[in-house]
Amino acid sequence: MDISHRDENGITIVTIEGRLDAAQAPAASKAIEKILKGSVSRLLFDLGGLEYLSSGGLRVILGTAKEMKRKEGKIALRALNEYVKEIFEVSGFDSLIPINDTVEDGIQRIS
């Protein structure tokens, strides 16, 4: 798993690549906590390179969504492969966090 981030026009874009499973979840959670410290109010997860998402990884993303809600911020997801998208749809979490096809769509949604 690889996590990186960048800021673009006041939006923090977090890119996760590889596998986000139970073994990786604690490290992912810590990395995202560091990114969210400060004044992050708009967050876009770029998941185009995410190959696998387990329930532990899903909890990391949902925990981040809760934190953004607590901060009265906005969050969106981008570029989920079919497997990852199905996890969000089956769990019903696609109704809680907007899913977008492109970075531009995600940025527009949370701007």
Q: Rounded to an integer, what distance in angstroms lies between the CA atom of residue 49 and that of residue 110?
A: 21
Exposure of 84 in the CB half-sphere (CA atoms within 13 A): 26
Tens of pLDDT along 61-99?
Answer: 999 999 999 989 999 998 888 888 888 889 888 888 888
Class of the CATH-defined domain 2-110 = alpha beta
Nearest alpha carbon to residue 55 among 14, 91, 3 = 91
Nearest alpha carbon to residue 45 among 1, 12, 9 = 12
Domain locations along the chain: 2-110
Q: Which amino acid, one-letter code, is at 10?
A: G
pTM for the full model? 0.88
